[in-house]
């Protein structure tokens, strides 16, 4: 038996790029990502608004006074949800594509949870970095890298222990409603 591909097999085999991935799959994923940009621009503000309402309800439920501090918290969560919602929509549309409803629902739910939390934690980190910059080293070096790493770890820890409590339990209905809206659309 001849192990070499004959001409007919070579014509039907998918073309590959230099990385080894079939060119058709990569092209389809990029097309799905490109077509998801405009719907993501509409989805992200609605999702961010829902997250802000959920955080505000949680603050009200905990009988927290609304002042400039809570306003800053709401802005931080709004920006995190806006950027996270946009990135999650594009990622889920690219990954889930035209898969069944349950796959699209799972893709957007996981993406929204992870990316919204990650972006908001990163915004916490930026706020910490600005605050602690007065005590950090001014120039790039080993000490500066250590200070950035510890500041980042602290920001993520504080966000996970304090910030996520603001989203839960009122944020779960927002998450599932947003995931439901995404999953109902027809994949391409």
* pLDDT digit string, tens, across residues 48-96: 999 999 999 998 988 888 899 899 999 999 999 999 999 999 999 888 8
Structure pTM? 0.79
Q: Tell me how many domains the chain contains.
A: 1
Question: Which range of residues forms the domain containing residue 85?
Answer: 17-184
Domain membership flag for residue 12? no
Domain membership flag for residue 55? yes
For 78, other C-beta atoms within 10 Å of its C-beta total 17
Positive/negative CA dihedral, 25, 27, 32, 36? positive
- Tell me: the pLDDT tens digits for 99-119? 889 999 999 999 999 999 999
How far is the C-alpha of 60 from the C-alpha of 113, rounded, in Å? 23
Q: What integer is the mean pLDDT of 141-158?
A: 88
Domain membership flag for residue 168? yes
The tokens describing 25, both together, are: 């799959």
How far is the C-alpha of 120 from the C-alpha of 124, rounded, in Å? 6
How far is the C-alpha of 46 from the C-alpha of 12, rounded, in Å? 45
The tokens describing 10, both together, are: 């070579």
């Amino acid at each position: 038996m001849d192990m070499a591909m004959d001409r007919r097999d070579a014509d039907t085999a998918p073309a590959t790029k230099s990385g080894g991935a079939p060119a058709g799959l990569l092209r389809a994923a990029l097309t799905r990502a490109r077509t998801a940009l405009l719907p993501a621009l509409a989805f992200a503000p609605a999702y961010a608004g829902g997250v802000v309402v959920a955080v505000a309800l949680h603050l009200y439920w905990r009988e927290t006074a609304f002042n400039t501090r809570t306003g800053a918290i709401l802005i931080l969560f709004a920006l995190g949800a806006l950027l996270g919602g946009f990135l999650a929509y594009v990622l889920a549309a690219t990954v889930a594509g035209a898969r069944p409803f349950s796959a699209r629902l799972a893709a957007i739910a996981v993406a929204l949870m992870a990316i919204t939390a990650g972006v908001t934690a990163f915004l916490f980190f930026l706020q910490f970095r600005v605050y602690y910059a007065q005590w950090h080293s001014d120039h790039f070096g080993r000490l500066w890298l250590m200070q950035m790493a510890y500041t980042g770890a602290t920001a993520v820890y504080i966000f996970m222990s304090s910030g996520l409590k603001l989203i839960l339990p009122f944020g779960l209905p927002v998450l599932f409603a947003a995931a439901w809206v995404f999953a109902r659309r027809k994949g391409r």
